[in-house]
Amino acid sequence: MWDTIFDYSAIIIADLILSGDNALIIGMAAAGLSPDLRKKAILYGMVIAALLRIVFAVVATKLLGVPGLLFVGGLLLLWVCWSLYRDIRSHTDQHAEEALEEAEDGGYQGKPKKSLKQALIAITIADVSMSLDNVLAVAAIADGDTTKLVVGLGLAILLMAFAATLIMKLLSRYPWISWIGLVVLLYVAFEMLYRGVTNCETGVGPIIGLLTEANCVPSGSGGGH
């Protein structure tokens, strides 16, 4: 039970703390719209970002079952942790909060510089290129459980779609939340590397002959959540 609660909580936390870049892009794209379209662009943009992450994460979850890719995924997740560390140090959440607030309440007041469709296309393209961190984190935490993946991300969707500015405000004003998220992701990354080396079916240890079947770790035991 506690493992399940931890996994769902970790998926939500990971998705929220890794949404700063997405929120920044969405806020900037919405700023050039007419005031009546900005909130729609922010709402639709958050939903697009979240749906893309669900699709990519489901695919990534399947790919992590390919021998050797779990270890590679662990290395990539360490890179995600490094990127998140830099984001925390450079106050990305604060910039995202400012961009969203400006788009919602102030900013450009003249004739729209772009249409809602153009803004959403720009947001989608940016999200596709920036989804790797979210995808890797939630796929690693879900550990092959598609239900856990979809439910966890679904809750994060609702939070980001309807309270994006509030979330960025909280992350900006209470950086310790992001630091806790970073610790969670580091734990997931090192556990992923451990399983990526020792797992009997997908680990690089058995693949390259460092571990035999007698001393490797079967799926679902050892380093699992």
Q: What is the CA 140 to chain-centroid distance, rounded?
A: 11
For residue 209, CA distances in Å to 27, 188, 192, 197, 198 come to: 50, 25, 19, 11, 11
**pLDDT tens figures, 191-204:** 888 888 888 777 77
pLDDT of residue 105: 63
Average pLDDT of every residue of the chain: 76
Asked if pLDDT for residue 223 goes beyond 50, the answer is no
Cross-strand partners of 199:
217
94 or 214, greater pLDDT: 94
For residue 143, CA distances in Å to 8, 25, 38, 192, 213 come to: 11, 29, 37, 9, 22
**pLDDT tens figures, 85-131:** 888 887 777 777 777 777 666 555 555 556 778 878 887 877 776 66
Q: What is the CA 215 to chain-centroid distance, rounded?
A: 34
CA distance 73 to 75: 5
Asked if pLDDT for residue 13 goes beyond 70, the answer is yes
Asked if pLDDT for residue 1 goes beyond 70, the answer is yes
Highest mean pLDDT pick, 66-70, 125-129, 158-162, 220-224:
66-70
Residue written as tokens 């007419």? 34
**pLDDT tens figures, 121-158:** 887 877 776 666 777 777 777 777 778 777 777 777 77
**pLDDT tens figures, 178-189:** 888 888 888 888
pLDDT of residue 162: 65
Percent of the chain exceeding pLDDT 90 equals 0
pLDDT of residue 222: 45
What's this model's pTM, rounded to 2 decimal places? 0.72
Q: Report the pLDDT averaged over residues 63-84.
A: 82
